[in-house]
């Protein structure tokens, strides 16, 4: 067992990093330098991760009396309720997915192939010597596959080693297609005594928060789920329990009392540590902002041709009032000035088996701009942040794709370069429809920051039956949003393929936002809308489209054909539903 693993086991009662893996067999020369170490402010500020831990006892108490504890921990008065649901439906859904029959090649010896020790596997960890990995008791030569790995060069961390601990985290690999593909690379069997992979793994998912049973999972580990679209548009402010959840890794457990946020400037000694109380002692700002997943509405793009990514419906978006301290206040107090070419990195406490934390960055100019409204939020709709939404502190970057609104915020770094995280560099970027996994070069596209204009019809849902109202119309409801603080100024609907368009009634944040002259670039909230669309008598089926216009007069693209991209992000074409008329 490596020194690192022993140290982790010794120091933590509960620990996210409980994998026994032969780390020493990795050839560091083959690991991209950006993955070799965490960026640090200075030697003195190496992160102390003990504030991540939570004793088993403390955890139990918190699970049982979460409401009380949160109130105490955050020092917030008033009626704050955490609901503990008997989530039978979620449990059933979980089981249905987990019990899907998956190929079990990696548990079987292939008698037609030779046997290798883990030491032998470890010598194949470079492009020159071939790149071997083990999964279960299978040994695989993945040299040819490495350049095509959707997760890019992240795969090299497993070179010459077992990929089991990674696949326990990144469970999106557990599909028949991927397991079948892996088996085509099989070259041998692992010596029985070296089979670390299939045993001795602690489950990093055992302490996920309870979720509302109405949240429909797109994946379970990590947990990603959205509410029913019809429910979503019932509330201008999305209730916390129905707010979509997009986690990339297990939800960390953080003790509010010992929580510390480190803020520093790269390559300088400028460092500051803030407790939750420190953050709460600063002027409290409230920002009503929608947060949208970069993959929202991906399932509609998939109809053109398959993409890689979670199959989100139109409800991977929510609109909440976030409260916290303004980041620009903190940075200014530290003597940091805006600089057009610099960036602010956010690192979460959530991490993968290599202790790589979830991380992302935004331009420093956005963070330093008072009108950018970037806050370190500790409340969501007047309650302490729920665990799934970043307890105790997440950054809210209004107008910017959800992926940069980092949850469980542990570190902020000012840097001359963007975050080098996988999620910033090799994910959440747009490409031409003709770019495929053979030709993609992630360095050629900018990381998604502000999101484009979109709208979605949420009620009725497609393939349902609706009745005609007394005006000879069908009632339609939905939302619209545009990133970058751009206001929704119009939503048009048609039920006749664009021959006639009907302008929806918009429900904005406040009266000020209803003033058409008020284009101040700080419209972070979504707009809900309703419309009545006339349907000729005797119509049996109708297809309804929606398209939104924002205050820059940008509009949605008509179809997904010409905006398709291999990751299925930015899926903002016209929303189209087909309904039967009763």
Candidates 420, 423, 422, 385; CA nearest to 404 is 423
User: Which one of residues 32, 128, 512, 536 is an interface residue with a second copy (CB under 8 A)?
Assistant: 512
The angle formed by the CA atoms of residues 535, 536 and 542, to the nearest 5 degrees, is 50
How many residues touch a second copy (CB under 8 A)? Answer: 62
Can residue 471 be called a binding residue for a second copy (CB under 8 A)?
A: no
Stretch that binds a second copy, among 228-236, 346-354, 379-387, 481-489 (CB under 8 A): 481-489
Q: How far apart are CA 171 and CA 179, in angstroms?
A: 12
Among 428, 508, 567, 576, the active-site one is 428
Q: Of 104-112, 218-226, 231-239, 516-524, which segment contacts a second copy by CB under 8 A?
A: 516-524
How many other C-beta atoms are found inside a 10 Å radius of the C-beta of residue 272?
17
Q: What is the largest CA-CA distance in the chain?
A: 76
Least Å from the CB of residue 306 to a second copy: 18
The reply to whether 38 belongs to the active site is no
Tell me phi and psi for residue 532, to 5 degrees.
-110, 125
446 lies in the binding site for a second copy (CB under 8 A):
yes
Q: How far is the CB of 507 from a second copy (least distance, A)?
A: 16
Instruction: Identify the helix (H) or strand (E) that includes residue 567.
Output: none
Of all helices (H) and strands (E), which one includes residue 301? helix 298-302
Out of 48, 516, 539, 580, point to the residue binding a second copy (CB under 8 A). Answer: 516
**Which residue is catalytic, options 38, 39, 110, 149?**
149
Which of 337, 409, 338, 420 is closest to 375 using CA atoms? 409
**Residue 396 in tokens:** 């809210």
d(CA 565, CA 546): 21
Which run of H or of E encompasses 138?
strand 138-141
Does 107 bind a second copy (CB under 8 A)? Our answer is no
Q: Which of 21-29, 57-65, 160-168, 552-560 is the region at the interface with a second copy (rule: CB under 8 A)?
A: 552-560
- The residue within the footprint of a second copy, chosen from 280, 288, 381, 563 (CB under 8 A), is 563
Output 446 or 538, the one with its CB closest to a second copy: 446
> Closer CB to a second copy, residue 75 or residue 498?
498
With binding defined as CB under 8 A, does residue 258 bind a second copy? no
Q: Site residues for a second copy, window 332-391 (CB under 8 A)?
A: 340-341, 343, 363, 365-366, 369, 371
Strands 130-135, 161-162: pairing is: parallel
Per the CB < 8 A criterion, the answer to whether 70 and 82 are in contact is yes
**Following CA atoms 279, 280, 285, 286 in sequence, which dihedral angle do they give, to the nearest 10 degrees?**
120
**Segment interacting with a second copy (CB under 8 A) among 11-19, 43-51, 163-171, 497-505:** 497-505
When binding is defined by CB under 8 A, the residue of 6, 61, 444, 578 that contacts a second copy is: 444
In the bound complex, what is the minimum distance in angstroms from residue 515's beta carbon to a second copy?
Answer: 8
Cβ proximity to a second copy: between 124 and 342 the closer is: 342
Q: Is 285 a catalytic residue?
A: no
Cβ-proximal residues to 565 (8 Å cutoff; 6+ apart), any chain: 301, 307, 430, 431, 432, 433, 435
Residue 149 annotated as catalytic = yes
Active site residue 212: no
The CB-of-424 to a second copy minimum distance in angstroms stands at 9
DSSP-based three-state secondary structure for 186: strand
DSSP per-residue letters across 371-430? GG--EEEEEETTEEPPGGGTTT-EEE-TTB-GGGS-SSEEEEEEESS---SHHHHSSSB-
Q: Which stretch binds a second copy (CB under 8 A): 163-171, 187-195, 198-206, 547-555?
A: 547-555
Single residue of 434, 463, 467, 471 touching a second copy by CB under 8 A: 434
Binding residue (CB under 8 A) for a second copy from 216, 477, 490, 508: 490
Q: Which of 59, 145, 205, 501 binds a second copy (CB under 8 A)?
A: 501
Contact with a second copy (CB under 8 A) among 75, 114, 176, 498: 498
What number of other Cβ atoms are within 10 A of residue 79's Cβ? 8
The token pair that represents 136 in the structure block: 């279960």
Q: How many CA atoms lie within 13 A of 240 on its CB side?
A: 21
DSSP H helical ranges for 22-144: 33-36, 56-64, 66-74, 88-98, 118-122
Of 189 and 551, which has the nearer Cβ to a second copy?
551
Residue 394's beta-bridge partner residues? 377
Active site residue 389: no
Stretch that binds a second copy, among 240-248, 260-268, 384-392, 515-523 (CB under 8 A): 515-523
Annotated active-site residue in 293, 328, 397, 458: 293
Write down the least CB distance from residue 332 to a second copy, Å.
15
Q: Which residues bind a second copy (CB under 8 A)?
A: 340-341, 343, 363, 365-366, 369, 371, 417-418, 430, 432-435, 443-453, 483-484, 486-487, 489-490, 492, 498, 500-503, 512, 515-522, 547, 549, 551-559, 561-563, 570
Residues annotated catalytic, as ranges: 149, 173, 246, 293, 428
């Amino acid at each position: 067992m490596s020194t690192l693993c022993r140290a982790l086991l010794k120091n933590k009662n509960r620990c996210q990093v409980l994998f026994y893996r032969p780390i020493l067999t990795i050839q560091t020369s083959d690991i991209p330098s950006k993955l070799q170490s965490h960026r640090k402010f200075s030697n003195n500020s190496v992160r102390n991760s003990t504030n991540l831990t939570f004793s088993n006892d403390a955890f139990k108490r918190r699970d049982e009396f979460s409401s009380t504890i949160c109130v105490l921990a955050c020092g917030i008065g008033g009626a704050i309720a955490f609901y503990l649901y008997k989530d039978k439906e979620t449990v059933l859904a979980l089981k249905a997915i987990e019990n899907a029959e998956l190929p079990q090649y990696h548990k079987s010896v292939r008698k037609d192939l030779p046997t290798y020790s883990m030491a032998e596997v470890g010598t194949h960890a470079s492009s020159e010597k071939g790149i071997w990995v083990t999964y279960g008791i299978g040994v695989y030569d993945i040299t040819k596959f490495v350049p095509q790995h959707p997760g890019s060069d992240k795969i090299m961390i497993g070179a010459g080693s077992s990929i089991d601990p990674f696949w326990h985290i990144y469970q999106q690999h557990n599909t028949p297609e991927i397991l079948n593909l892996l088996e085509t690379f099989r070259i041998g069997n692992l010596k029985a005594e070296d089979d670390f992979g299939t045993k001795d793994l602690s489950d990093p998912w055992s302490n996920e928060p309870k979720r509302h049973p109405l949240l429909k999972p797109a994946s379970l580990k990590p947990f990603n789920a959205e509410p029913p679209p019809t429910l979503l548009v019932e509330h201008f402010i999305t209730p916390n329990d129905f707010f979509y959840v997009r986690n990339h890794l297990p939800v960390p457990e953080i003790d509010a009392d010992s929580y510390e946020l480190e803020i520093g400037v790269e390559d300088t000694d400028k460092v500051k540590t803030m407790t939750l109380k420190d953050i709460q002692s600063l002027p409290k700002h409230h920002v009503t902002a929608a947060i949208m997943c970069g993959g929202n509405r991906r399932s509609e793009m998939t109809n053109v041709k398959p993409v890689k990514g979670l199959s989100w419906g139109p409800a991977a978006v929510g609109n909440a009032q976030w409260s916290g301290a303004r980041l620009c206040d903190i940075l200014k107090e530290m003597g940091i000035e805006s600089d057009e070419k610099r960036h602010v990195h956010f690192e979460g406490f959530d991490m993968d088996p290599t202790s790589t934390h979830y991380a992302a960055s935004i331009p420093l100019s956005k963070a330093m701009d008072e009108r950018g409204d970037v806050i370190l939020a500790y409340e969501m709709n007047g309650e302490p942040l729920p665990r799934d939404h970043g307890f105790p502190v997440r950054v809210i970057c209004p107008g910017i794709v959800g992926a940069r609104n980092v949850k469980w915020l542990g570190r902020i770094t000012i840097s001359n370069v963007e975050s080098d995280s996988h999620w910033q560099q090799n994910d959440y970027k747009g490409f031409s429809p003709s770019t495929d996994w053979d030709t993609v070069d992630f360095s050629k596209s900018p990381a998604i920051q502000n999101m484009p204009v979109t709208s979605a019809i949420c009620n009725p849902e497609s393939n349902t039956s609706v009745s005609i109202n007394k005006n000879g119309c069908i009632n339609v409801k939905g939302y619209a949003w545009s990133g970058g603080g751009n206001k929704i100024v119009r939503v048009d609907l048609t039920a006749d393929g664009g021959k006639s368009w009907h302008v929806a009634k918009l429900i904005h944040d406040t009266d000020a936002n209803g003033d058409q002259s008020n284009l101040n670039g700080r419209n972070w909230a979504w707009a809900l809308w309703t419309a009545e669309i006339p349907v000729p008598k005797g119509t049996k089926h109708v297809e309804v489209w929606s398209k939104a216009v924002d205050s820059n007069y940008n509009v949605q693209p008509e179809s997904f054909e010409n905006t398709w991209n291999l990751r299925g992000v930015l899926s903002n074409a016209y929303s189209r539903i087909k309904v039967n008329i009763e």
